[in-house]
Amino acid sequence: MSGKIKMENNILKLRMGQYMSFVLCLMLMLVVPIWRDHKIFGIDLGLDDEQKVETIREMPDGRIIINTTDIGKDIMGYGGPTPVEIEINDGVIEKVTPLKNQETPEFYGAVRNSNLLESMDGKTLAEALSTPIDGVSGATYSSNALINNMRRGVEYALASNEIFVTQEKERDKLPLKFYITIVIIVAGGVIPLFLKDKRYRTLQMVLNVLLLGFWGGTFISYSLMVSYLTNGITKVVMIPTALMLIAAFIYPMFGKKNYYCAWMCPYGSLQELLGKCIKYKFPMSQGLLKWLTIFRELLWFVLMWLLWTGLWFDWMGYEPFAAFFFTDASAVTLGIAGGFLILSLFIQRPYCRFVCPTGSLFKFSEGSK
């Protein structure tokens, strides 16, 4: 009996350690949105000294400027709100200018390089609202958020300077891609719990790469997690990544450590599939593996320190996951992603095991190395 009680006590200690690690991880991450955005889960902490932004103002030459910072604060892109300024002259839109935001360079750069921002130029307010605007492939969150901000600003202008209140928030049409993405994520989260089959694992990896990665652009990154901590999960389209976060942070509490990385991450899956192409692998001693693990932990600490101090938030935009948007990703991101994919031919999942800051955060939250 004493042995059973001892085992139960050990399990309880393990669970308590995991819970404490998760809470500590959450507290460490909450520092970032507090420091950078002065918000937590969409709640403004009132730490900004800046004056309240005027939604509408008239210029000396008669032009009207609409600023959607306040009226569009519920419209989220990949990294958070994406406000714009709309210049109107004699009822005709002259220019739409994007304002400061937290979108990652890869996603937002694709929008800036498209003609989306110019799509309303030269149109009357009524024409602008009635003309469909196509989003930007590979930057769905960012482009849809900008489109909705532009429409929100035009609707405000049409309200003749009265406060614009939406009685019912705009509902994004959910494409087939949304439902297929959820099916793939749920399959990765449930089937492996009951089916231990190498062929199924290969199939899941392929689906992760093709559908979650290249087609859907669905994965967990630091940018995404900070966005959720800052703004909360406010839209139905965020459900797929919310399910992934459950696999990353909740599954380990039930003994399924490293689950997201092993079964859902598109970039990890791509490394694993490439590793199957060549049987030869570089020999790595236990000593080298130990030092590479220490390097990963030190790197994670340094990157977290850069976030805590506010010295460099932009490193989050260079995680290789964004390379799935290969037509929009920066050369640096593509170089990092490509380099580790080449290494994965000879070293099993090199980025996941020895570098990945997101994976290190998951390991810290579950109390493992």
1-47 per-position pLDDT tens digit:
466 666 666 667 767 777 888 888 889 899 888 888 888 887 877 76
Query: Residue written as tokens 């469909």?
Result: 132
Buried b (16+ CB within 10 A) or exposed e, 305-317: eebeeeeebeebb
CB distance 252 to 258 below 8 Å: yes
What is the per-residue pLDDT for 344? Answer: 97
CB distance 361 to 29 below 8 Å: yes
Neighbours of 42 (CB within 10 A): 17
Tens digits of per-residue pLDDT, 144-163? 788 888 888 888 888 754 43
CB distance 67 to 87 below 8 Å: no
- What is the pTM (predicted TM-score) of this model? 0.77
Q: At 335, which amino acid appears?
A: G
Report the alpha-carbon distance of residue 269 to residue 144 in Å, rounded: 28
What is the per-residue pLDDT for 166? Answer: 38
Report the alpha-carbon distance of residue 231 to residue 43 in Å, rounded: 8
Q: Which residues contact 89 (CB under 8 A, 6 or more apart)?
A: 62, 63, 64
Neighbours of 319 (CB within 10 A): 25
Total residues found in the chain within this entry? 369
Give the residues of the chain that fall short of pLDDT 50.
1, 161-172
Strands 56-58 and 92-98: unpaired
134: left (phi over 0), alpha (psi -120 to 50) or beta: beta
DSSP 65: E
